Amino acid sequence: MDEASAATGGHPLDADLVTMAAAVREGKISAVALIDAALQRVAQLDPDLHAFCTLTADTARADARRIDARLAAGDVVGPLAGIPVAIKDLVCTKGVLTTFGSRLYADHVPDEDDVVVERLKAAGAIVIGKTNTSEFGYGAVGHNPLFATTRNPWNTELTPGGSSAGSAVAVATGMVPLAIGSDGGGSVRVPAALCGIFGIKPSWGRVPVYPGCRDERYPGISSWESLEHIGPLTRTAADAALAMSVLAGPTPRDRHSIPAESNDWSISTAASLRGARLAVSVDLGHATVDAEVRAATQTAAGRLAQALGSKLDTAHPGIGPTQPMFETLVALDTDRQGLRAMAAAKRVKLGGWLGHLVDHPWTADDFTRAIVERKRIVNAVWRFMENHDFLLTPTTGAAAFAINVDGPDEIDGSPVARTAWLAFSAIANLTGLPAASVPIGFTRDGRPIGLQIMGRHLDDRGVLALSAVVESLYPMSMPKALMTV
């Protein structure tokens, strides 16, 4: 048995992030051994899954040696020292190829790190590579025109969801214990649900975004500013809380970032949630939902209410479908002129949802109506949340479907638009409320199902705590059939 396995009683990457980080700090495993184990697992699994689009093996090993030298010297290291992490290819990494999943940026190498990458490195985390995404994040799937399609680790003929597709797969298969995703309309929570892991979209401004979609130097990605969030994908809520202790906090580089209320991100006990006011809606009053997803959501909500001694209300804010308005806001936030100019100069045709948004003849009145509608939704939701601490819904209206399409064309026997399965996620982006996806089991044919937990204004800690209670009711496993140790 090698050093890495001996330190954890098994493969080191099968441990949770909290345990893994403590093992490095306590000298039970070296950073070099951990990074080597991660890169070996990537080499074994990723040829079939395509979670990574760029690997940084040499720099990762060099960083690991520096961490081990500091530990040997008795230096104080950060809380994530030696931990292998993966970064979504929409998030800038200094000196490392960052393509945004687009041929327009196929050779792009940023000259600075995104704030979240900077903070991870300061905490001692080691970036092992960039993970695959849909083009510019326009689509909750894992395909783009530049790289091979990312595949679901539970069934490689199915999509892992997206747009943080590669990040979710890297965590689900234990290639890394922590990956960074971005979420403009569900792009952290959706792949977390379809891959059977935990993902949280923090409150608006909780985790800064820069340069990413906040920098005018990047036509096409200087977009989604009123919707985009950065969040961690992990195996557990406790792991995400550890990540948040590093990622959260203000910076002048993001004018929307908010002050840190506390540096303590430890998970509250279930006892602190006794009597929490829970609302559940399996369809928000309008969504088409797969029967198995519907039943699993209702069952999970009931079990959670029983565990907390809470009353469970069947209720929702009554806001109606949001997709048309959401798409209009995305178009408003998109540098469509810049994208058209780049595409013309490079002779690249933009397709799919992105191409539609860029070419559609939007008017100022379209954008004004969408902004007014968003205000109505925000007001309806805060009034609803005055009477409820948490809203529980499915994360997605359907479990994983075939790769290389943008959504199922049928749910529960009914024909639907290809975006219908995404009816639940955009509310948290439109309002800025914290929301997470936590696994609650599988369909009969083995596809993971996620429960979305949306909390009140700035109650990220409450969402994490409630997610941990759900985890205690639904212990999950990784798709170990894909792993070799």
What are phi and psi for residue 289, nearest 5 degrees?
A: -130, 135
Q: Which residues contact 305 (CB under 8 A, 6 or more apart)?
A: 278, 311, 312
Q: In this structure, what are the phi and psi dihedrals at residue 8, rounded to the nearest 5 degrees? A: -120, 0
Q: CA 17 to CA 228: how far, in whole Å?
A: 25
**Confidence check: pLDDT of 338 > 90:** no
Q: What is the pTM of this model?
A: 0.96
Q: Give the residue among 466, 462, 432 at the shortest CA–CA distance from 229.
A: 432
Pair 205, 258: CB distance under 8 Å? yes
Radius of gyration of the chain from Cα atoms? 21
Average pLDDT, the chain: 94
Please determine, for residue 484, whether its predicted confidence score (pLDDT) is greater than 70: no
Lowest-pLDDT range of 97-111, 140-154, 219-233, 257-271: 219-233
Are 407 and 418 spatial neighbours (Cβ–Cβ below 8 Å)? yes
Helix (H) or strand (E) holding 394: strand 390-394
Crossing angle of the two packed helices 352-359 and 323-333, in degrees rounded to 10: 70
Secondary structure (3-state) at 233: strand
- Tracing tokens 């300061």 back to the chain, one arrives at 122
Q: What pLDDT sits at residue 321?
A: 95
The pLDDT score that the predictor gives to residue 220 is: 58
Check if the beta carbon of residue 115 is closer than 8 Å to that of residue 161. Answer: no
pLDDT, residue 156, reads: 96
Q: How many CB atoms lie within 10 A of CB 462?
A: 19
List, in sequence order, every residue forming a beta bridge with 130; answer none if it has no partner. 54, 87
Treating both helix axes as pointing N-terminal to C-terminal, what angle do 323-333 and 364-385 enclose, rounded to 10 degrees?
A: 120
What CA–CA distance (Å, rounded) separates 340 from 138? Answer: 15
Model confidence pLDDT, tens digit, residues 420-470: 999 999 999 999 999 999 999 999 999 999 999 999 999 999 999 999 999
Catalytic residue among 88, 121, 130, 201: 88
User: Is the pLDDT assigned to residue 309 strictly greater than 70?
Assistant: yes
Residue 478 has a pLDDT of 63
pLDDT above 80: residue 174: yes
Q: Which of 253, 254, 135, 158 is nearest to 204 (CA)?
A: 254
Q: Which residues partner with 127 through β-bridges?
A: 85
Does residue 201 sit in helix, strand or coil? strand
Question: With b meaning 16 or more CB within 10 Å and e meaning fewer, what string describes 382-394?
Answer: eebbeebbbbbbb
pLDDT score of 173: 96
177-203 confidence digits (pLDDT tens): 999 999 999 999 999 999 999 999 999
Q: Report yes or no: 452 and 436 within 8 Å, Cβ to Cβ.
A: yes
Which pLDDT band, with edges at 50, 70 and 90, does 11 fall under? confident
Mean pLDDT of 123-143: 96
Q: How confident is the model at residue 110 (pLDDT cuts 50, 70, 90)?
A: very high
Supply 79's token pair: 């809380």
One-letter identity of residue 403: I
* pLDDT of the residue at 116: 98
Write down the residue that tokens 């960083």 correspond to. Answer: 63
Sign of CA dihedral 339, 342, 347, 348: negative
For residues 152 and 165, give the distance between their C-alpha atoms in angstroms, rounded to a whole number: 9
End-to-end CA distance of the chain: 10
pLDDT at 248: 98
Please say if 163 is a catalytic residue. yes
| Residue 54 confidence (pLDDT) | 98
- Residue 224: pLDDT band by 50, 70, 90 thresholds? confident
Give the model's confidence band at 481: pLDDT under 50 very low, under 70 low, under 90 confident, else very high: very low
**Any catalytic annotation for residue 346?**
no
Element (H, E) at 188: none
Q: Tell me which DSSP letter residue 261 carries.
A: S
User: Which pLDDT band, with edges at 50, 70 and 90, does 221 fall under?
Assistant: low
- Helix H or strand E segment including 324: helix 323-333
pLDDT of residue 1: 35
Is beta strand 84-88 parallel, antiparallel or unpaired with respect to 126-131?
Answer: parallel
CB count within 10 Å of CB 193 equals 33
pLDDT of residue 476: 77
Exposed/middle/buried for 110, CB within 10 Å: 0-12, 13-18, 19+? buried
For the domain covering 3-482, report its CATH number: 3.90.1300.10
Active-site residue, selected from the candidate residues 30, 102, 134, 163: 163
Query: Who wins on pLDDT, 268 or 54?
Result: 54
On the question of a cis peptide bond just before residue 211, with omega within 30 degrees of 0, the verdict is yes
pLDDT for residue 254: 93
What is the pLDDT averaged over residues 77-100? 97
For the chain, percent of residues with pLDDT exceeding 90 = 87
Give the C-alpha separation, 335 to 220, whole Å. Answer: 5
- In percent, the amount of the chain with pLDDT more than 70 equals 94
DSSP 8-state assignment for residue 402: B
User: What's the pLDDT score for residue 351?
Assistant: 86
What is the structure's pLDDT at 225? 85
99 phi and psi angles, rounded to 5 deg: -100, -15
Q: How far is CA 27 from CA 23, 37, 69, in A?
A: 6, 16, 12
